[in-house]
Amino acid sequence: GVYWSDGHQSGWQTAVPVPVVNATGAGDALMAGLVHASLGGAGLAQAVRFAMGCAALTLTAAQANHPGLSVAVVGQLLDSVE
């Protein structure tokens, strides 16, 4: 999981349960997802949740970058764990 804070609000985002195939690239995917969601106008809590989805999806791939990583696929993964 991830603890997040912007100085005014904070929270904890639990990890998305997925079978781990390879951890290489998961941290990079998390940061890329955070930047993507933030630039798209998401609040920090929403951006962190999306970023965790990016990282979780990446953990399931043998490669350092999940070949199917997209906003839609991350959304489907997150919807499946709600």
Read off the pTM.
0.93
Among 30, 34, 35, 37, residue whose Cα is nearest residue 15: 30
Q: What is the dihedral of CA 2, 9, 48, 17, to 10 degrees?
A: 40
Structure letter (DSSP) for residue 4: E
The identity of residue 71, as a single letter, is V
pLDDT single digits (tens) 4-51: 999 999 999 999 999 999 999 999 999 999 999 999 999 999 999 999
